[in-house]
Amino acid sequence: MNRKPAISVVLVDNHPLVLEGLRAILETYEHINVVGTAGAVQPGLDIAARQAPDIVLLDINMPQISGIEAIEIFKKAAPSTKILMLSMHDSREYISASVVRGASGYILKDVPNEEIIGAIETVAAGGTYFSTGVSDVLMQRKQTKENDLPITTREREILAHLAIGRSNREIAGLLDLSVATVETHRKTIKRKLGVSTTADLTRIAIEHGLTPAV
Amino acid sequence: MNRKPAISVVLVDNHPLVLEGLRAILETYEHINVVGTAGAVQPGLDIAARQAPDIVLLDINMPQISGIEAIEIFKKAAPSTKILMLSMHDSREYISASVVRGASGYILKDVPNEEIIGAIETVAAGGTYFSTGVSDVLMQRKQTKENDLPITTREREILAHLAIGRSNREIAGLLDLSVATVETHRKTIKRKLGVSTTADLTRIAIEHGLTPAV
DNA sequence: CGGTCCCTACCCACTACTGGGTAGAGTGCT
DNA sequence: AGCACTCTACCCAGTAGTGGGTAGGGACCG
């Protein structure tokens, strides 16, 4: 059970409970070595830069700097360290955002202890690990992304405003455009998306996460 | 430090990490006695019914039976036991729902260990404990609820449709009404709510949970 | 340099929505 | 019965959005 060299792990989570729990769980395994814990991104970075651990277990929901944003910062501070995300949610956005930024894995906090250990071992060995269900989410996400909205940046911006009920005039005012221009964009968007009503636009905007997630 | 009789506590949380973390934290205090842990409501109930602990620490987010629903069940199974809710979120709905059902306290999982201990002591002594910020939320909630939307059922229904961008005609079709009637409702809603644009209606509908939470 | 795309902006006729009314039928309360 | 309220529905004049065009300037690419 202890043939491999020990895996060094740093824990970053703003919940003391989770930190304690993780430490307690991981310390029962001889081949896993918790070399530091941090309650926020910055102290975590300091530890990671000094220790260059094999793995950073990074909570996704943290105040100030979120775990997602922190991925790239950790990658710079300790390039050889693998990032394993910890989350309460199997949210599409979080998962794909993590993968895009270079995380090696994404595990949900409610999985059995053994799965967490398995994930750490897999990622330390250079692999990737995603909790059951997470892979499906990624596949779904990829599909959605591939035939993502075939509209331009400006149009996407206009769509976001339209979707929350703003009038052409309001949008024109906000973006410092002529009302006529907004109308043109609106027409183009509808033509490109093959819809004719505002309700359809709203629906599409919500589906694609354009509305500011109230 | 150990003059008081020990406080018996049962932990119920579907996250093994949180259970371990809580146990680790609480066991460092001599006057707190973790007499059982459970990963779901049902086993927690069995323990609580047998042990009649002073306090049940109950996670709010659990599959099948949520912590909120569990409050009343625990109250029945062990009437003398105080319920202290644990949550990741300072959500208005959760907090007020917990209070209404008889929880003695509500603490957020990201508070310092000392605050958790303090909460347990306070609740064991017959008091109530709410994490900083939670009280404010309760006050807010009361206000919001009291002057909730002053519109009729029918108007609320129309508003939900309007807020997702449906046209008067579409709504008339869906509800089997004359377009004129929908327009009248629309006017009444705007007058009652004191707004003039569709964007305002959308905003209000979202704030009050009328939009079907996509 | 020519082609393509994006962003901007306008014209025109048509349709939808707005905001001001009024009003009848039904319900519930006193 | 009288009153308040809700839901329904219409009229009218004004404003906003729609759907069909066209078009110039700028960026990018071969």
The CA–C1' separation of A204 and D22, in angstroms, is 29
* Residue B39 scores a pLDDT above 80: yes
Nearest nucleotide over every DNA/RNA strand to the B185 CA, judged by C1':
D7
**pLDDT tier for residue A209 given thresholds of 50, 70 and 90:** low
Alpha-carbon gap, residue B29 to B31, rounded angstroms: 6
The CA–C1' separation of A166 and C23, in angstroms, is 33
Nearest to B18 among A18, A170, A206 (CB): A18
Q: Is the CB of B167 under 7 A from strand C?
A: yes
| Most confident of the following: B85-89, B172-176, B203-207 | B172-176
**Cα of B76 to nearest chain A Cα, Å:** 28
**Cα of A108 to nearest chain B Cα, Å:** 10
* Closest A-chain CA to B171: A199
* Residue B210 scores a pLDDT above 80: no
**Is the four-CA dihedral A148, A153, A158, A161 of positive or negative sign?**
positive
pLDDT at A204: 78
More confident: B10 or B106: B10
Average pLDDT over chain B reads 76
Q: Tell me which of B110, B115, B116 to substitute to probe the interface with A (most A C-beta atoms closer than 10 Å).
A: B110
* Closest B-chain CA to A208: B214
More confident: A83 or A98: A83
pLDDT at A69: 73
pLDDT at B56: 92
**pLDDT tier for residue B10 given thresholds of 50, 70 and 90:** very high
Chain B environment of A214 (Cβ under 8 Å): 203, 206-207
Nearest nucleotide over every DNA/RNA strand to the A198 CA, judged by C1':
D17
pLDDT in tens, B135-166: 444 444 333 333 355 677 788 888 888 887 88
Whether A207 and B214 lie within 8 Å, measured CB to CB:
yes
Domains and CATH numbers, chain A: 7-144 (3.40.50.2300), 153-207 (1.10.10.10)
* Residue B11 scores a pLDDT above 90: yes
pLDDT in tens, A171-198: 898 888 899 999 899 888 888 887 888 8
Once rounded to an integer, what is the mean pLDDT over residues B197-206?
A: 78
**pLDDT tier for residue B93 given thresholds of 50, 70 and 90:** low
Residues ≥6 apart with Cβ < 8 Å to B71: B58, B83, B85, B98, B101, B102, B103
Once rounded to an integer, what is the mean pLDDT over residues A189-209?
A: 78
**pLDDT tier for residue B107 given thresholds of 50, 70 and 90:** confident
**pLDDT tier for residue A2 given thresholds of 50, 70 and 90:** very low
Chain B environment of A109 (Cβ under 8 Å): 15, 17-18
Alpha-carbon gap, residue A84 to A122, rounded angstroms: 10
pLDDT at A139: 41
pLDDT at A9: 92
**pLDDT tier for residue B3 given thresholds of 50, 70 and 90:** very low
Once rounded to an integer, what is the mean pLDDT over residues B173-184?
A: 88
Whether B61 and A88 lie within 8 Å, measured CB to CB:
yes
pLDDT at B85: 87
Q: Which residues of A touch B (CB under 8 A)?
A: 14-25, 61, 88, 109-110, 112-113, 116, 163-167, 170, 197-203, 206-207, 214
Once rounded to an integer, what is the mean pLDDT over residues A8-24?
A: 86
**Cα of A56 to nearest chain B Cα, Å:** 17
Q: Is the CB of B142 under 7 A from strand C?
A: no
